[in-house]
Amino acid sequence: MGIMSLVAGSRSGPKGASRTLKADIARGFGNARSTYESASRLQRFMGNTMLQKLYTQDVVQADSEVLDLGCGTGWFTRKLAAMEQVGAVAGVDLSRGMVQEARENSSQSIDWIVGDAEYLPLPDASCDLIFSNLMIQWCEDPRSVFRECRRILRPGGRLMVSSLLDGTLTELKNAWRVADPDHEHVNRFETEAALRAKVHAELPEATIESRTIRLPYTSPMMLAGELRHLGAGFRGAERRKAITAPGRLRDMCRHYVKEPDGTIMANYEAVWIYWQKH
């Protein structure tokens, strides 16, 4: 029986400002659905790190029901569905546009759900593995996502999550701070200490691994273009309401620290969370 057949119906979702922000996030990713996969270098690296554990550590049991939480265009949902041990797979994403893109480019054996990770429309103890790649950093409070994951996992089920920490894109943030000091241009991320505290409050004995990933770009504009193609623009209330003037973009590029050959590097503070429900 597929996960979609166990859908419990809509649960009470966010209200007010939280709903508005989530709608903005969903719209931004939906608008990037056709360019997302071509720009997802970091996403693939971090998701592949979790897949490698699935392949080498015999984590997935026969006929497992798997949920890809924050599935985006379904890149990793399809890889999970191709695993021999997997019996049923569902992909959940907040963005209707992303889910539509995933459905149009995937087999009919995958169930697709438009849903909020903090209010999952799935019953208790309904899946064996939750895979979530670079999603929780977009949530207002990851603890609510961890609680939902704990709720829908069966005993013995596993959770695999990747996210980003404070210090990510610090070079870009510093360049914008000089070029446009009155406005934010880079999303904020949890400090490692804060995230560890939230993880251990909801997921006892979880394993947390972190490392710095450095990706090269030919220019700051290439980095900005990649973020735009991912739909990962700044969503905070402090952002500029109008289009940023070309002069400010040039100032940002001028103040971005460059390598001796004129290229730039971007730091991503990566974190992976692994947990088994006892």
Residues 6+ apart with CB under 8 A from 170: 267
Q: Report residue 158: phi and psi, to 5°.
A: -125, 150
pLDDT in single tens digits along all 278 residues of the chain: 455 555 545 455 666 667 888 999 999 999 999 999 999 999 999 999 999 999 988 888 889 999 999 999 999 999 999 999 999 999 999 999 999 999 999 987 999 999 999 999 999 999 999 999 999 999 989 999 999 999 999 999 999 999 999 999 999 999 999 999 988 999 999 999 999 999 999 999 999 999 999 999 999 999 999 999 999 876 655 555 555 678 899 999 999 999 999 999 999 999 999 999 99
What is the rounded (10 degree) CA torsion for 42, 44, 49, 54? 160
**For residue 157, what are its two tokens?**
């089920």
* Phi/psi-derived region of residue 181, left when phi > 0, alpha when psi is between -120 and 50, beta in every other case: alpha
Q: Go through 60-79 and write b for each residue having 16 or more CB atoms within 10 A of its CB, e for each that does not.
A: beeebbbbbbbbbbbbbbbb
pLDDT at 246: 83
Q: Report residue 253: phi and psi, to 5°.
A: -60, -40
3-state secondary structure the chain: CCHHHHCCCCCCCCCHHHHHHHHHHHHHHHHCCCCCHHHCHHHHHHHHHHHHHHHHCCCCCCCEEEEEECCCCCHHHHHHHCCCCEEEEEEEECCHHHHHHHHHCCCCCEEEEECCCCCCCCCCCCEEEEEEECCHHHCCCHHHHHHHHHHHEEEEEEEEEEEECCCCCHHHHHHHHHHCCCCCCCCCCCCHHHHHHHHHHHCCCCEEEEEEEEEEECCHHHHHHHHHHHCCCCCCCCCCCCCCCHHHHHHHHHHCCCCCCCCEEEEEEEEEEEEECC
CATH class entry, domain 3-276:
alpha beta
Q: Report residue 86: phi and psi, to 5°.
A: -80, 130
Strand partners, 66: 89, 129
Contact 111, 88 (CB under 8 A): yes
pLDDT at 1: 42
Identify which of 126, 274, 103 has the alpha carbon closest to the alpha carbon of residue 203.
274
Taking the domains of the chain in order of start, what are their residue ranges?
3-276
pLDDT at 61: 87
- What pTM did the predictor assign? 0.91
pLDDT at 57: 85
Identify which of 141, 187, 168 has the alpha carbon closest to the alpha carbon of residue 271.
168
